[in-house]
Amino acid sequence: MAGWLFLIVALLGVLAVANAAWPRRGPLLLVPSWALAFLTTDLAPFHFLLQLVLTAGFVAAGALASLPGKLALILLFVSAATLFILWLPNLEAKRIAADVADALHLDETESMPRRLLLTPVRKTVDGVVVTRDVEYFRAAGRALKLDVYRSSLAADQRPALLYLHGGGWVVGDKANQGRPLCNHLASLGWVCLNANYRLSPAATYPDPVVDAKAAIAWLRDHADGYGVDPSFVAIAGGSAGAHIAAMAALTPGDRSLQPGFEDADASLQAVVTFYGAYDLTNRNGSQNPEFATRMIGPYVIKAFPDTEPERFSAASPLDHVQQVTMPWLVVQGGADTLTPPADAREFAIALEQHSDSFVGYVEFPGAQHAFDLYYSPRAIAAVELSARFLITAHRRATSSRAEK
């Protein structure tokens, strides 16, 4: 009996690793396959530990006395070896980030403590204080809230970052995303806001962009209370949050996106977008065709792409790159099955062609969508690079103002 149970457990492990190596891209299995791959690849050391504990338990129970038990042990060895191969690109992440930093001549900053790798879902870090659930805007009968990350050492005139979570515009929460970046920047003296926004299907695009601009305006209105320098506010986001952040940055002065606060300053001075959705028209055919017809159309934009294509274009950051005025870093996973790397590359190239500021692109081989939600060598490299980018953008902006 122990041998058969051991074989079942080994087969489940093999299936998880096989899915991480060859994730499904069909419309029905796309999201569950991504979720399993995302929880497998960068958490490989913890999977190894779990396999080791389970193997020791089954061996102690006599599982190796049977043929199924012996077969299970072989399968686990193959599974562990494959998982190790999938995890190996993590070791290149630091060098890849350093190459991008060197190419952009980014400032050096303090590194993140590597002990965070032992607690991959840690919510807070030493020296950072988080004020949760601060109301910043009211819309459609909802009070929208954000969390404020600050250093425990009080200071004035600090740069600020607004972070927007992902979740396909329909799910997600500030409590679960953006923590590595917000914690690290706060430890370096920044003030970080991690904000919720209205979700579909109750919300209709561009409601989330309105909310993002409202959060920026709120921050400037409350800059003195949080020790923020209102002249430098950056934005970042992941996935759908990256799309919203990009649209907030690429629509400066659009009064229709600031209803009730048309005259407020919602400008941005730097942008970092992680694995974003940059083209909702799928003009290059890199996305699953049902992404627009089954997801974006009925739930987010509330339109049909074949009869109202202009609405999908209007909601695509790729169609607004001519408005870019600030430094921008695009962060992408090379194995992302939800937001294609090809779209991110095209977006970064388009930004570079239209921008007078510095633009960076980094792609981490083997990284799945949302790879930065927990601490891994890859996530740490991405967060440290983002921090160096933002700190450099702030220093250069401050120096430029001083010279005028």
User: Which residues are identified as catalytic?
Assistant: 239, 336, 369
Largest CA distance in the chain: 80
- Which helix (H) or strand (E) element contains residue 326? none
Q: How far apart are CA 135 and CA 404, in angstroms?
A: 37
Q: How far apart are CA 287 and CA 290, in angstroms?
A: 8
Q: How far apart are CA 391 and CA 190, in angstroms?
A: 9
Residue 188 phi/psi, 5-degree rounding, is -95, 5
Task: Indicate the SS3 state at residue 272.
Answer: strand
Q: How far apart are CA 374 and CA 145, in angstroms?
A: 23
Where helices occur in 123-195 by DSSP H, the ranges are: 179-187
Residue 362: count of CB within 10 angstroms of its CB:
23
Q: How far apart are CA 86 and CA 99, in angstroms?
A: 22
Quick one: CA torsion of 250, 286, 103, 359, rounded to 10 degrees? -10
Taking a C-beta distance cutoff of 8 angstroms, is the pair 231, 299 a contact? no
Q: How far apart are CA 14 and CA 20, in angstroms?
A: 10
Please report, for residues 4, 7, 91, 153, the alpha-carbon distance to residue 68 in angstroms, rounded to integers and kept in the order given: 6, 6, 35, 59
Q: Report the DSSP beta bridge partners of residue 158.
A: 228
Q: How far apart are CA 348 and CA 322, in angstroms?
A: 12
Which of 204, 183, 210 minimizes the C-alpha distance to 194? 183
Q: How far apart are CA 231 and CA 13, in angstroms?
A: 51
- Which helix (H) or strand (E) element contains residue 404? none
Q: How far apart are CA 300 and CA 315, in angstroms?
A: 10
Q: How far apart are CA 250 and CA 305, in angstroms?
A: 22
Which residue type occupies 119?
A: T
